Structure formats: C-alpha cells, structure tokens
Amino acid sequence: MKTLLIAYASFTGGTRQMAEAAAEGAREEGGVAVRLLPAPQATPEDLLAADGFVFATPEMLGSMAGLMKDLFDRCYYPLLERLQGRPYAALVCAGSDGQGAARQLERIATGWRLKAVAPPFIACVHAQTPDAIQAPKQLASADLDACRELGAALAAGLALGVF
C-alpha cells in the first residue's frame, strides 16, 4: 500500500485544519495509508518512506513558517536525489496573498525533483492586524472542502498508480 505523508506547521490552527481536511479526504478516498505529522516531528526517514506528500504551512512574514523551513533544512540534503518524481501538493494558510510561501515550497520541491499535482492551494484569512494575526483561526468550509478534495485526488492518484 502506498503512503501519503501530510506534514504541516500551524500556530493559530488554520493550517492544522487544512492538513486535517486533506488527510480526511485522502482517508475517505482509501487505497493509501495516510500519515499526518507536525513538521518538527517529520524525519528524513518519514519522507523517504512516503510515496507522495502534502506540505502545509502558514504564511509568516511573506514566506513559509520557520517550522516548515526547519523540516526542509533538516531533510533536504539527506534526501537529495532520493525523492525524484514523487507527487506533492502545497497548502498555505495566508493572512495576505500567500504567494511567497507557495514559491518557497515550489523551489524546494523543484530541487528534490518532486512533481506538483495541483497548483498550491492558498486559504486567505485576511488577518492584517496584530490581534487578528495571532487569533485562533476557523477556516471557511469552502476552503476546507478544497483541502479535502486535494487530499482525495492525491490519494486516488497514488492508489491508481497515476503518480
């Protein structure tokens, strides 16, 4: 059975909701084992054991969260030339546009020669004040539905051998 690894960083709950929705969609689709891991817990061995990935991060200061960057800092070189062709998708919980975080994830995935199976999905919560930025997030059901669909599509592709 193939494995889908969903690695995420979350501070105010929004990105965690996105990752959990993607995991739910993948599990409902069936045919793959789904691992949902906070980025600080993910190891090179976890990534190497996975057949596909969802990387979920909040936008922090116009880029990906440091906890997600730490995952890539720890795993990038040990896995270089070992993950080629594996599918991935990116989820970003953004206060503004999320494009900086999405670009960072894409550049790292390109270095690993991963295959993007969908454009990055960005849920914008429009948090622009210190209080709003730090407040717990509750994402819109449409955003969570999109994350579920992405997880289901990735799982289906893995299970069918499309990816």
- On whether the CB atoms of residues 36 and 162 are closer than 8 A, the answer is no
pLDDT tens, residue order, the chain (163 aa): 999 999 999 999 999 999 999 999 999 999 999 999 999 999 999 999 999 999 999 999 999 999 999 999 999 999 999 999 999 999 999 998 999 999 999 999 999 999 999 999 999 999 999 999 999 999 999 999 999 999 999 999 999 999 9
DSSP string for residues in the chain: -EEEEEEE--SSSHHHHHHHHHHHHHHHH-SEEEEEEEGGG--HHHHHT-SEEEEEEEEETTEE-HHHHHHHHHHHHHHTTTSTT-EEEEEEEESS--HHHHHHHHHHHHHHT-EE-SPPEEEE----SHHHHHSPP---HHHHHHHHHHHHHHHHHHHHT--
Compute the distance between CA of residue 87 and CA of residue 157 in angstroms, rounded to an integer.
Answer: 9
Give the relative orientation of helices 141-160 and 14-29 as an angle to the nearest 10 degrees: 40
Please, what are the domains in the chain? 2-160 (3.40.50.360)
Tell the burial category of 37 from Cβ atoms under 10 Å away from its Cβ (0-12, 13-18, 19+). Answer: middle
Give the relative orientation of helices 99-112 and 66-79 as an angle to the nearest 10 degrees: 10
Compute the distance between CA of residue 109 and CA of residue 32 in angstroms, rounded to an integer.
Answer: 22
Q: What is the pLDDT of residue 96?
A: 87
